């Protein structure tokens, strides 16, 4: 990073000998259109900007460019543009507006930022002289020149034939004596009859500074080489508009280099003949990010071997900026070390063997490398090696352990296994899965002549508790089958008639597959002339959505309470209960353990139904 108002630690980005320091300036050669058709003109864009971070990884670090108000970006109309403009028009004020593109000057970052300047106006610092005479091949111009004109650019009108009427583009006045100016070039033809009108302008031209601060946002991303920089600057412009009595547009524009020397060309030449300013293959950046990579940090380990025995150890390392390459380990220590021989295999596996007949301690030093590609300066490897300490002593004694795990069943219940199994140390259940869930209640409504909806979500305080949480359904896959899988579905069924839990006390509702009014006796079966049943709410008026089927996060009672280590089961779309509804499913190799089904239920109540308590039943099935 460079420049004015730079944050602490900002990198000075000015190239040696930069005459526009602290700004870095770029030339952009633009083709004239309209009144300037057939000509080109160089414009200068200057930046005093910083990047939003001083350093970052060679790839993938997002950053932006910022700059202070009244100084971040300036546009310069060179004197070689202003002088011929004054010869033709001599306007009292001159304006400039430009559209630039900021991006990487050397491919070390991706992303661009389109910058649009405001339209900026300045008083015209140049002027016009009429009746100037000269002969062909001369460096003398005779007219009303004064000593104040020394160092200014002088130009004939670009509309003259030929353009400039014999005064070479970019001519600079180097001396004035008695109204006669000496220029640094020689004329290519005599003046026109009656003398030539010439324009004057300071060689430095006119600088237009955007009063606004620059903040691109993190539109750039590093894509360079570790140890280098990600460079941001002006890489192009779509157009410049010069305002002098009339608007003169120049487009398209192409960058020709950076402004680091006195102009040697001149504007408003026929296209293709502009010599431009100092050109560089890779112009310097207006700001940059230092690209650095932290290498992996090898982990020390200790291994015990018996005398004359063998074993292995897998090398590991903590990642730095980039992940550790599992095949990027190298051994620093040669084999053998003492009585220990070793070799490095794939994945960092080191095979060990020894011929020791008495205790000894050996060390294996190793380094680790990351996954940064060679194109970005990688891989980056540790320089401080890790240490594997190998203790060789009395041969160890090995005792095998085993545990037989028997298959159980696929269980569906209204309560958690923790309610009917005491823990892993007591394989015999103390109860049975709850197959009849407590009633899940929606909030009551009052008929008002409009269709209404009620919504309730399981696993919270709406409705009566069902197991450990209201309305939650538990799927426990205890089969221990690596190829096992299951699907949970639900369908609407007829509610049994009776006075018990989960039953409808209205005998008329027997066999009705719907929400059936338990309060109105035989009227629950009334049928309107169009077939409507006002004592019932059809199953398709109940919709299930917002399904989750998480792996049990708690497990059983302490201390035997590890969670289900499998991923959550996959929720299905749900939908209306006019038919069987798919709720969730678990795939092969990850179906085992307990899962908790929760969802949101929405019931639509038609405006035509009778008052009373409606009871319906949903049956869940896992297969």
Q: How confident is the model at residue 501 (pLDDT cuts 50, 70, 90)?
A: confident
Tell me how far CA of residue 566 lies from CA of 221, 372, 586, in angstroms: 37, 32, 10
Q: In whole angstroms, what is the distance from residue 399 CA to residue 377 CA?
A: 49
| Residue whose token pair is 């920089």 | 229
- 15-48 residue pLDDT tens: 665 667 778 888 888 887 776 666 777 788 889 9
Q: In whole angstroms, what is the distance from residue 571 CA to residue 26 CA?
A: 58
Phi, psi of 579 (to 5 degrees): -150, -175
Predicted local distance difference test score (pLDDT) of residue 15:
63
Residue partners of 400: CB distance under 8 A and separation at least 6: none
Q: Which of 15, 519, 29, 516 is nearest to 231 (CA)?
A: 15
Between the ranges 66-70, 373-377, 468-472, 557-561, where is the mean pLDDT highest?
Answer: 373-377
More confident residue, 271 or 308: 308
- 290-344 residue pLDDT tens: 999 999 999 999 999 999 999 999 999 999 999 999 999 999 999 999 999 999 9
- 63-81 residue pLDDT tens: 999 999 998 999 988 887 8
Q: Which of 291, 313, 312, 321 is nearest to 382 (CA)?
A: 321
Predicted local distance difference test score (pLDDT) of residue 169:
78
- Tell me how far the alpha carbon of residue 224 is from its chain's centroid: 17
Reading the block at residue 112, the tokens are: 């661009």
> How many other C-beta atoms are found inside a 10 Å radius of the C-beta of residue 76?
24
Residue partners of 333: CB distance under 8 A and separation at least 6: 363, 364, 365, 366
Q: In whole angstroms, what is the distance from residue 100 CA to residue 118 CA?
A: 12
User: By percentage, how much of the chain surpasses pLDDT 90?
Assistant: 64
DSSP 139: S
Predicted local distance difference test score (pLDDT) of residue 279:
45
Predicted local distance difference test score (pLDDT) of residue 189:
85
Average pLDDT score over the chain: 86
- 339-359 residue pLDDT tens: 999 999 999 999 999 999 999
Interval 373-401 mean pLDDT: 93
Predicted local distance difference test score (pLDDT) of residue 56:
94
30-39, 176-185, 514-523, 581-590: segment of lowest average pLDDT: 30-39
- 535-551 residue pLDDT tens: 999 999 999 999 999 99
Predicted local distance difference test score (pLDDT) of residue 23:
82
Q: In whole angstroms, what is the distance from residue 379 CA to residue 282 CA?
A: 26
Predicted local distance difference test score (pLDDT) of residue 105:
87
Q: How confident is the model at residue 276 (pLDDT cuts 50, 70, 90)?
A: very low
Q: How confident is the model at residue 419 (pLDDT cuts 50, 70, 90)?
A: confident
Q: Over 50: is that where the pLDDT of 267 sits?
A: no
pTM equals 0.63
Predicted local distance difference test score (pLDDT) of residue 30:
83
């Amino acid at each position: 990073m460079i420049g004015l108002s730079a944050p602490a630690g900002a990198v000075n980005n000015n190239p040696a000998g930069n005459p526009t320091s602290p700004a870095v300036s770029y030339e952009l050669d633009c083709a004239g259109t309209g009144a300037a058709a057939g000509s080109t003109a160089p414009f200068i864009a200057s930046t005093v900007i910083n990047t939003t971070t001083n350093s970052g990884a060679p790839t993938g670090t997002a950053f932006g460019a910022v700059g202070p108000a009244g100084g971040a970006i300036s546009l310069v109309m060179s004197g070689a543009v202003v002088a011929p403009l004054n010869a033709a028009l001599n306007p009292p004020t001159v304006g400039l507006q430009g559209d630039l593109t900021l991006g990487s000057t050397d491919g070390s970052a991706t992303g661009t930022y389109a910058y649009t300047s405001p339209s900026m106006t300045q008083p015209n610092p140049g002027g016009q002289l009429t009746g100037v005479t000269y002969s062909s091949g001369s460096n003398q111009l005779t007219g009303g020149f004064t000593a104040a004109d020394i160092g200014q650019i002088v130009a004939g009108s670009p509309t003259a034939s030929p353009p400039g009427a014999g005064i070479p583009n970019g001519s600079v006045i180097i001396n004035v004596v008695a109204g006669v100016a000496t220029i640094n070039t020689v004329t290519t033809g005599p003046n026109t009859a009656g003398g030539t009108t010439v324009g004057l302008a300071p060689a430095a031209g006119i600088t237009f500074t955007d009063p606004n601060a620059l903040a691109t946002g993190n539109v750039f991303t590093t894509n360079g080489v570790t140890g280098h920089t990600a460079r941001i600057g002006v890489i192009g412009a779509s157009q410049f508009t010069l305002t002098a009595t009339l608007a003169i547009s120049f487009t398209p524009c192409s960058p020709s280099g950076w402004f680091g020397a006195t102009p040697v060309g001149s504007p408003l030449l026929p296209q293709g003949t502009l010599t431009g300013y100092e050109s560089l293959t890779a112009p310097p950046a207006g700001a940059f990010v230092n690209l650095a990579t932290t290498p992996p940090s090898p982990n020390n380990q200790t291994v015990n071997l018996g005398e004359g025995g063998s074993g292995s150890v897998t090398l590991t390392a903590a990642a730095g900026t980039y992940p550790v390459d599992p095949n990027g380990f190298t051994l620093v220590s040669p084999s053998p070390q003492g009585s220990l021989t070793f070799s490095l295999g794939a994945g960092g596996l080191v095979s060990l063997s020894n011929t020791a007949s008495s205790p000894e301690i050996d060390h294996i030093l190793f380094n680790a490398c990351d996954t940064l590609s060679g194109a970005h300066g990688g891989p980056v490897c540790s320089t401080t090696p890790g240490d594997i300490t190998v203790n060789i002593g009395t041969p160890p004694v090995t005792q095998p352990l085993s545990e037989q795990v028997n298959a159980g069943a696929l269980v569906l219940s209204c309560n958690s296994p923790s309610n009917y199994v005491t823990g892993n140390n007591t394989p015999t259940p103390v109860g049975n899965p709850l197959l009849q869930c407590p009633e899940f209640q929606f909030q009551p409504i009052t008929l008002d002549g409009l269709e209404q909806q009620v919504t309730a979500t399981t696993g919270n305080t709406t409705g009566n508790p069902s197991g450990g949480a209201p309305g939650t359904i538990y799927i426990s896959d205890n089969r221990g089958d690596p190829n096992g899988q299951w699907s949970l579905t639900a369908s609407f069924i007829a509610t049994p008639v009776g006075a018990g839990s989960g039953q409808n006390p209205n005998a008329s509702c027997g066999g009705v597959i719907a929400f059936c009014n338990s309060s109105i006796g035989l009227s629950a079966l009334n049928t309107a002339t169009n077939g409507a049943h006002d004592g019932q709410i059809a199953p398709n008026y109940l919709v299930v959505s917002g399904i989750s089927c998480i792996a049990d996060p708690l497990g059983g009672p302490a201390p035997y309470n590890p969670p289900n280590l499998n991923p959550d089961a996959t929720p299905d779309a749900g939908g209306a209960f006019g038919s069987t509804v798919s709720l969730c499913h678990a795939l092969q190799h990850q179906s085992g353990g307990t899962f908790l089904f929760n969802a949101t239920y929405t019931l639509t109540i038609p405006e035509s139904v009778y008052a009373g308590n409606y009871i319906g039943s949903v049956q869940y099935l896992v297969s």
